[in-house]
Structure 1
Amino acid sequence: MSTPAIELQARPQARPALAPELLRRFGRLRPEAFALTWLVYVAFYLVRKNFDGAKPGLLAAGYAKAEVATMDGAFLAAYALGQFVAGPIGDWLGAKRVILVGLSVSVGANLAFGFLEPVPLLATALAVNGVAQACGFPLCCKVIAAWFPASMRGRASAWFLTSYTLGDIAAKALAGSMINGAGWRFAFLVPAGIVVGFIALFALRLRQSPREVGLPDVSEIENEPEPLAQPGLAPRFGGQLVRLLRMPATWVVCGAYFLLKMARYTFMGWSNVYLFEQLRYAPGDATLATIPITVGGLVGTLAAGYASDRLFGGRRAPVVVFCIFGLAIVTPFYAGLGSGEPTRAMLLHLLIGLFAYGADAIMSAAMAMDLAGSEGAASAAGLLNGIGSVGATLSPVLGAWVSMTFGWTWAWYVLSGLLLVSAALMATRWRRAGADG
């Protein structure tokens, strides 16, 4: 976990007025801030993705599939709506405070879920957890933006986003082992207990910005002005969000990300169903066959971050367009996949993960930071991911309704068409960086 933080350090291009001791202190504290922010999001996932891991246990305990779906829907809706509010609150009150409150409420919701019985109360607990979880990603983006200048944010956000892939694996592995050993309730009680320890660590050690520890802003240390900085203006609730909503670039990126996240969640949530129904895979084999999507996603996330920083000088759109267009091209080939082609299936899953996660990583984190700068990073990430989450909630339309009504081939063709629209939107920003235009 410390390796990415060390990798992300850049040789400071400091102004002569800065004392060497300040630079040494900054060089020591930035890797720590990055590592703790990475761990923050893993902690959020331990008390979020455990529900996905616990679904078989809930079904085995007698809850109907429709009841589990109701609980899931309550979480997703609350999570999407919560991000629109959590980001502006974080820009107003500070990232660390909101992160600690969000994690604490999430722990409480998990403890409640572990003791409750009726479906309405369980759905309510998950809805509360959804709002609390919305305090995670946007505020982590704000911390990353405070410690890394614009020229490094592609790489920094790419390494940071490995947390949700590895956090997902950890949460589901822990939930599965708890279900097998002690029952589904412990899939919520044990992670909650673990995260209490993390909260204490974050309260003591997490530094939300260099300014918090008496250092100059990262723009001054790296001699790289923050393009959207507004010195002298006191933070106010919703101020950054209002500014974002007035920018044409915001709406272009949000529209493209809405379509991309719908596509990513369709692949994440329904590709194993496609393999099971259409290609006659065994249920377990269908799920195992989609693991390369996650593997490709790890590679794509890191490759996209480095490419946007080093090959395109901080311009994110070219990398995003390449990834989304690549995903749009691969998708029709997925529709033509045969049941006796495991090697081809593995290759397609790797490419799907590479392109889908690569584009998602840039848009959800680095591009959000570029749109608003360090002062408004939480509002931008909350707005982008809130709109993207609305798209994610519509993924069952493609995965279920279209496939049942017109067949899986048409479902993948429709998805490919939507991805081409997303790529076309982002192509309008090919030569632009940050909030320009």
Structure 2
Amino acid sequence: MQATRTDQPSASPVAPPPPLSLQTRMVLLSYFAYFFYYFCRKHLGVATPAMVNSGISDTTIGWVQTAYGVCYAIGQFLSGALGDRLGPRIALTTGMILSGIASLAFGLFPIVGVLVIALSLNGLFQSTGWSNSCKVVAEWVNPVNRGKVMGFWTTCYIFGSIAANVVAGTILARYGWHHVFLFTGITVAVVGVIQGIFLINRPADRGYAIELEERSSPATDNTRSGFMLMIRQPAVLLLGLAYTGLKYVRYTVFSWSPYYLVSSIGLAEESAAYASNGLEIGGILGLLLGGWVGDRFFPGNRVRLALFALIGMIGAILLYRVTSGTGGLWGNLIGLGAIGLFLYIADAIVSGIAAQDIGGAENTASAAGIINGIGSTAQLFSGIVPIWLKQRWGWDAVFISFIVIAFFSCLAILPVARKGKLTKA
């Protein structure tokens, strides 16, 4: 006897949620991925004073920083779209290995030609980090807990930046600037291999499901349309414009604060590397405080908190502008810490949490890539413009440029902050 055929689809079983231990493991893997990205991002800034003393001009290094910014901005758009289509594991693994190789190349062949080519292309490789790390968190964390988790998770680029400064500064003092690029290159490449072995793109890859936002449409493959969907969102574009001010301030301080502290304040090279950590030390408090305050008082639209933080950052820059010259080691550490407190609250919301809120789990990498791509255009100016301003009008002109572009960011973010609720597109 033939079995009776039915056209009614059988009910598919509901996938269980992933165990907390697995969720935690994926969040920590992405945390340490972006933590170590900074080892091949901060090394050039720390090594700059010694490189200038060895005969490489600060103008040359400024142009390399600018070329890095061009590659980084272009790469943000590509990396976000590819991350949503192929998954973050491939993007993170490939980006970290190639970034490590670029740094190794300059460490092994420390000539200007390799500096220009390898460390400019490093911007392209570094661009794979943020959008794809954010996507891992968006896939594995329920949106209800996103603010708190991201408040912790975004400390990865604070602690990574601090560790990169300390490690590079120590190697610089003991072995010379060539070895800075050798050590950081090897470290980042090894961590990239670890990501390729252990990272899981999404819970569904292991038969689990996690409660996320409603999908835009069951019939729509958002891995294909996500980039075009996100780039048509006015909120995404405005956040990208607002991010230019944060990127300009952050990367100018990253690239030039050790040089400023040595040439203007008179600190030793190793002390300048440590003192420049003030931005990140203040940022740790800002990220943890911002995650809690955002969930507690701005759950519908955390961008409002980012606007207040931008205003606070302008005030901190104004104060540091008049106190840095006489503050010494501790005064500069505290002054940079005050700037970092407000900067990182706004930075984490604009580039990460808001991108997750608008993009949802399936389009987070595209939204984050677009916001970071637009914002990273400011890195084109954080390389050569500060040196040009310093040479023409002194370091005070650099601080004035911070204030002007931060005010522009406030204007750009205002329409998004005025929304009653920031929802998934």
Q: With structure 1 as the length reference, what TM-score do the two structures score?
A: 0.82
Aligned to 1:350: 337
Q: CA deviation at 1:401?
A: 4.2
Aligned to 1:384: 371
Aligned to 1:265: 251
Distance in 1 (CA, whole Å) between partners of 2:286 and 2:35 is: 19
Structure 2, unmatched stretches of 5+, are 1-12
User: 1:119-130 residue pairs with structure 2 within 5 A?
Assistant: 119-130=112-123
**Inter-CA distance 307–71: structure 2 relative to 1 (3 Å threshold):** same
Write the deviation string for residues 233-277 of structure 1: whole angstroms up to 9, x where unpaired.
33555x212111211112221121112322333444556666677
1:366 aligns with 2:353: yes
Write the deviation string for residues 4-58 of structure 1: whole angstroms up to 9, x where unpaired.
xxxxxxxxxxxxx968xx34x4212111111111111123222333333333454
From 218, 240, 243, the equivalent of 2:229 is: 243
1:422 aligns with 2:422: no
**Inter-CA distance 187–377: structure 2 relative to 1 (3 Å threshold):** same
Write the deviation string for residues 264-315 of structure 1: whole angstroms up to 9, x where unpaired.
334445566666777x554657666554322111111121122212221141
**Inter-CA distance 227–236: structure 2 relative to 1 (3 Å threshold):** closer
Aligned to 1:293: 279
User: 1:77-96 residue pairs with structure 2 within 5 A?
Assistant: 77-96=70-89
More displaced stretch, 113-122 vs 344-353: 344-353
Distance in 2 (CA, whole Å) between partners of 1:117 and 1:367 is: 41
1:309 aligns with 2:295: yes
Distance in 2 (CA, whole Å) between partners of 1:410 and 1:354 is: 23
User: 1:17-96 residue pairs with structure 2 within 5 A?
Assistant: 22-23=16-17, 25-96=18-89
- How many pairs does the alignment contain? 410
Q: CA deviation at 1:102?
A: 1.3
**Inter-CA distance 287–31: structure 2 relative to 1 (3 Å threshold):** closer
Write the deviation string for residues 148-171 of structure 1: whole angstroms up to 9, x where unpaired.
122222222222221122222323
Aligned to 1:11: none
Structure 1, unmatched stretches of 5+, are 1-16, 220-225
Letter in 2 for 1:318: R
Contact 1:74 1:124 in 2 (8 A): no
Contact 1:309 1:315 in 2 (8 A): no
From 177, 186, 209, the equivalent of 2:179 is: 186
Contact 1:95 1:139 in 2 (8 A): yes
Q: With structure 2 as the length reference, what TM-score do the two structures score?
A: 0.84
**Inter-CA distance 402–317: structure 2 relative to 1 (3 Å threshold):** same
Aligned to 2:6: none
Contact 1:398 1:415 in 2 (8 A): no
Distance in 2 (CA, whole Å) between partners of 1:268 and 1:47 is: 12
Contact 1:146 1:218 in 2 (8 A): no
SS at match of 2:355: helix
Distance in 1 (CA, whole Å) between partners of 2:34 and 2:326 is: 39
1:140 aligns with 2:133: yes
1:218 aligns with 2:211: yes
Q: CA deviation at 1:392?
A: 2.9
Distance in 1 (CA, whole Å) between partners of 2:147 and 2:132 is: 17
Q: CA deviation at 1:398?
A: 6.5
Contact 1:80 1:389 in 2 (8 A): yes
Aligned to 2:313: 327
Over the matched positions of the two proteins, sequence identity in percent amounts to 29
SS at match of 2:421: coil
